[in-house]
Amino acid sequence: MKLQKTALIAGASGLIGSQLLPLLLASDRYAKVIAVGRRPVPHVHPKLDQRILELDHLEEHRLGLIADDVFCCLGTTMRQAGSKEAFYTVDYLYVVKLAAITAANFAAQFMVVSAMGADAGSRIYYNRVKGEMEQAVRRTPFRAIHIFRPSLLLGERDARRTGEQVGAVLLRLLNPLLLGPLRKFRPLPAAAVARAMLQAAEDDGGGILVHLSDEIAAPGDPGP
């Protein structure tokens, strides 16, 4: 029996979101998939409902943000954002606002991408913002909240991030040595995070769960 649920994905054009959207469209769990973002995604599918909007104005579109499961793949880097304020807007304000609106619309589950090292008390601004975002999301009244904390992500990006590419190469060379407690530092394919997010939704559980990088990786995933 097919389930007739609705999924909402924000950040579908990003590294993880672009891997997740096809999975949502292919899933028998969903009769409708709402993709929210500033630009259209290159997909044509009978289930897909694209909402092109400025994330600053999410509140104005709240009646179009009704879903059972919400997948938040929003995120940027300090370099891409251009300033701490712009980074905070994307990685904290937009995420928390999406959670608040969809929770008020009675969504059951919220899956959000955070980062390894997220800590509201960190001296590192990036980690601190991610930690503060997690704290705020935890306070929203979803039946289930899934927080994903991947390490360095592997995959094709629209914008080149030279530092991350160099880091990925170095970690690939060191990969055989990253065992035991160091396993969490292995680079992780974005596709693995996408699969884990859908699996979390399909489990239909409850509570707040944090998924660490080494737990997200599937047995066959490269480390690589």
What is the structure's pLDDT at 173?
47
pLDDT of the residue at 187: 82
Q: What is d(CA 35, CA 21) in angstroms, rounded to the nearest whole number?
A: 8
Q: Does 171 reside within a domain?
A: no
Expressed as residue numbers, the domain containing 137 is 5-156+189-213
For the chain, the domain total comes to 1
Asked if the structure places residue 26 within a domain, the reply is yes
Return the CATH number at 28.
Answer: 3.40.50.720
Q: Are 182 and 171 in contact (CB under 8 A)?
A: no
Contact yes or no for 125/77 (Cβ under 8 A):
no
Task: Provide the pLDDT for residue 184.
Answer: 56
Does residue 172 lie within any of the structural domains? no
* Residue 219, domain member (yes or no): no
- pTM tops 0.85: yes
In a domain, 202, yes or no: yes
DSSP 13: T
Given this model, what pLDDT does residue 185 score? Answer: 57
Is-contact 125 88, C-beta < 8 A? Answer: no
Q: What is the pLDDT of residue 78?
A: 87
Per-residue pLDDT 10s for the chain (224 aa) are 456 899 999 999 999 999 999 999 999 999 999 999 998 998 899 999 999 999 999 999 999 999 999 999 999 988 899 999 999 999 999 999 999 999 999 999 999 999 999 999 999 999 999 999 999 999 999 999 999 999 988 866 555 555 445 444 444 544 554 444 545 557 889 999 999 999 999 999 999 999 999 889 764 454 44
**Is 37 among the domain residues?**
yes
Q: Which helix (H) or strand (E) holds 193?
A: helix 190-203
In a domain, 40, yes or no: yes
